[in-house]
Structures are given as structure tokens and as C-alpha cells.
Amino acid sequence: MGGMPQSFKKVALVGKYDNLALAESVERLADFLAGHGYEVILARQTAKTLDQPRYRQANLTELPGMAEVVIVLGGDGTMLSIARALAPYPVPLIGVNQGRLGFLTDITVGNMEAELARMLAGEYDAEERVLLTASLEREDGTHNEGSAFNDVVVSKAGTGRLIEFEVIIDNEYVYTQRSDGLVVATPTGSTAYAMSAGGPILYPTLEAIALVPICPHTLSARPIVVSSQSRVDIIIHHADDARVHFDGQNYFDLQKGDKVSICRVPYNVTLLHPKHYSYYDTLRQKLHWGKQI
């Protein structure tokens, strides 16, 4: 997305699945775009929520080859899952929130037609966001992988007992910790679980990763921020019941001896924002900064 902003004519729409309330908004937007000369493609699962879908349909991962931009209707959780699925493809994403302003979905349904008309004509700002990938390696040779736009979280599951793990960054031992777990967050995810655990807020386009302990069993444990080029290895020393979570939407169970290796992927997620978009304004609204309590 470097250079002068481009305009778009081929637009894909993806709505939160199994959400009938959102179907009306999807259909309204599709009709608006088609009526203004745009080619509209619907994600196949989104089209299933419409009574009489009148537009071309395709599977989610086929959309980047057919459309120049993908508009995601739903909340931040919907954007997380769609961004992970489409991240390997060079297609920008625009988020429309059915409810209030989101961190990732910063256009509201009420004014989406006017906002999107300007953006599709080239009036937008593009942001490149870091995405993480994590691999789980077990001593018996078992291997699993997952990706995260917000965070990779190693934590206890149902027993309530602390877990013990070792953290290695770029092949250098950092510490062994007993805690409820560890959040490894991108700048995008720094306002999610990591913030609740006491981590720093990172500006979205920073090339950085935050490591935030969850209820550590020592007051000296503090969050640290490292380069996004770093590799973070977490080795489980003791865990009666532990898991590794990806954006809070997918997970694998963990056991003693497992190693979770986390690093960024070699491509970014491109988000498009309206020209008037301000990250600091979003923080003020979402976190109620400056308001009297």
C-alpha cells in the first residue's frame, strides 16, 4: 500500500457469521455499493445469512484474488479471525462495527455509506500491523501451529494452580517464572488482554512485541517490550492444566516439557482507516480518559 492511495472498484464483504442482525447491514451496504458502480463479492458464509443473496459469492480465502479490498462487518473479534485468515494475501481490510467504535473496526454502521464512499475513492490512511505465529513442539515429536493478530497467551486452564515456565528470547535465557501465565502481544493486542494484565499500550505500527506476566508469584516480575524481529521461546516446566491460546479464539493443551516458539510472520496485515481517524481519540473513547468518575 505504499505510494499514493489507490481507489477500489472490486469490493468483498464479510459479515459476522450466524448474526441475523448484521445481515441487514450487509445487504444494505452491498446494495449501496452496487448502485454506485462497484463490483460486490460476498463471502459465501456471509451470503447464507441473507434471504436472497443477489451478488457473486466466494469462499473466504478466494476473496483476495477477486477483490481489491475486503470490508469486514462485525466487532473486533470478527476482524481478528478474518485478519488471521487473510493475512497471507496482499489485500487491505476495512472494519465496520455494528455497535460502538472498536479498536479495529472504526467505522460505525450508521455512517458507513458516506465513510466508505470516500475511502474507496482513495481517501484513507493505511496501517501495517504485525502478526504472530507460534509453534508447539512436544518431546514426542508432536507439532502444532497457530497465528495471532492480538496475542499468544500461555496460561493455566481449569485447575487454578500456578504454572512454571522458562522464557528464552533470541536463544538467550531470560527468566523462569511461576504465575498464571504470560501474554505475548503485538501492538494491536496491547489494548486487549495484555493491558488488563498491566502491560503497556504500544502504538499500533510499532515493530515490537510485549511480554506481560499474568499474576506472577513475585512482585519483581514486570512486562518487557522487545523487537518484533525477536523469537520468544516458552518452555513448560510444571503445569497441571495449561493451554496456549491464539487471540482467545483457538487453543492447544500444554504439558510438561512442551516448547511454544513465537515470532512474527514475514508479512503484515494492512488496515485502512478514514482520513479523520485518530488512534489517540479511540483510546480516549474506549478507555474513558479524561472523564470524571
Residue 82, pLDDT > 70, answer yes
Q: Report yes or no on 200 lying in a domain.
A: yes
Say yes or no: 204 and 250 in one domain: yes
**By the 8 A CB rule, do 79 and 22 touch?**
no
- Model confidence band, residue 29 (pLDDT cutoffs 50, 70, 90): very high
Residue 2, pLDDT > 60, answer no
d(CA 143, CA 180): 24
Q: What percent of the chain has pLDDT over 70?
A: 97
Q: Report yes or no on 98 lying in a domain.
A: yes
Say yes or no: 255 and 279 in one domain: no
Please tell me the least confidently modeled range out of 91-100, 250-259, 269-278. 91-100
- Model confidence band, residue 292 (pLDDT cutoffs 50, 70, 90): low
Say yes or no: 70 and 176 in one domain: no
- Residue 14: CB partners within 8 Å, gap ≥ 6? 43, 46, 60, 63, 70, 71, 72, 73, 78, 82
Average pLDDT of the chain is 93
Say yes or no: 137 and 260 in one domain: yes
Q: What pLDDT is stored for residue 167 in this prediction? A: 98
Say yes or no: 140 and 252 in one domain: yes
Mean pLDDT of 253-262: 96
Q: Report yes or no on 4 lying in a domain.
A: no
Q: Report yes or no on 3 lying in a domain.
A: no
Grid cell in block for residue 146: 497457530
Please, what's the b/e burial string for 48-84 (b: 16 or more CB within 10 A of its CB; e: otherwise)? ebbeebebeebebeebbeebbbbbbbbbbbbbbbbbb
Say yes or no: 113 and 138 in one domain: no
* Domain at 144, CATH number: 2.60.200.30
- Model confidence band, residue 49 (pLDDT cutoffs 50, 70, 90): confident
Say yes or no: 181 and 224 in one domain: yes
Angle at 158 between CA 152 and CA 160, to 5 degrees: 95
Say yes or no: 105 and 20 in one domain: yes
Mean pLDDT of 42-51: 89
- Residue 109: CB partners within 8 Å, gap ≥ 6? 25, 73, 96, 97, 98
Secondary structure of 117-143 as H, E, C letters: HHHHCCCEEEEEECCEEEEEECCCCCE
Grid cell in block for residue 173: 535465557
- Condensed to tens digits (0 to 9), the pLDDT of residues 209-244 reads 999 999 999 889 999 999 999 999 999 999 888 999
Residue 152, pLDDT > 90, answer yes
Q: What pLDDT is stored for residue 208 in this prediction? A: 97
CA distances from 271 to 22, 120, 213 (A): 21, 13, 29
State the total domains in the chain.
2
Q: What pLDDT is stored for residue 158 in this prediction? A: 75
Q: Report yes or no on 272 lying in a domain.
A: yes
- Model confidence band, residue 16 (pLDDT cutoffs 50, 70, 90): confident
- Model confidence band, residue 277 (pLDDT cutoffs 50, 70, 90): very high
Residue 100, pLDDT > 60, answer yes
Say yes or no: 279 and 212 in one domain: no
Residue 3, pLDDT > 70, answer no
d(CA 253, CA 271): 32
- Residue 6: CB partners within 8 Å, gap ≥ 6? 68, 122
Q: What pLDDT is stored for residue 98 in this prediction? A: 80
Of residues 18, 31, 51, 76, which has the active-site annotation?
76
76 given a catalytic annotation:
yes
Say yes or no: 247 and 258 in one domain: yes
Helices (H) then strands (E): counts for the chain:
6, 20
Q: Report yes or no on 217 lying in a domain.
A: yes
Q: What pLDDT is stored for residue 293 in this prediction? A: 59
Q: What pLDDT is stored for residue 135 in this prediction? A: 97
**By the 8 A CB rule, do 209 and 234 touch?**
no
Q: Report yes or no on 171 lying in a domain.
A: yes
Which pTM does this prediction carry?
0.93
Residue 145, pLDDT > 90, answer yes
Say yes or no: 156 and 78 in one domain: no
Q: Which domain range does residue 78 map to?
A: 10-129+268-287
d(CA 27, CA 36): 14
Please, what's the b/e burial string for 201-223 (b: 16 or more CB within 10 A of its CB; e: otherwise)? ebebebebbbbbbbebeeeebeb
d(CA 46, CA 55): 11
Say yes or no: 25 and 111 in one domain: yes
Please tell me the least confidently modeled range out of 8-22, 33-47, 104-118, 158-172. 8-22
Q: Report yes or no on 224 lying in a domain.
A: yes
Grid cell in block for residue 155: 496460561
* Domain at 49, CATH number: 3.40.50.10330
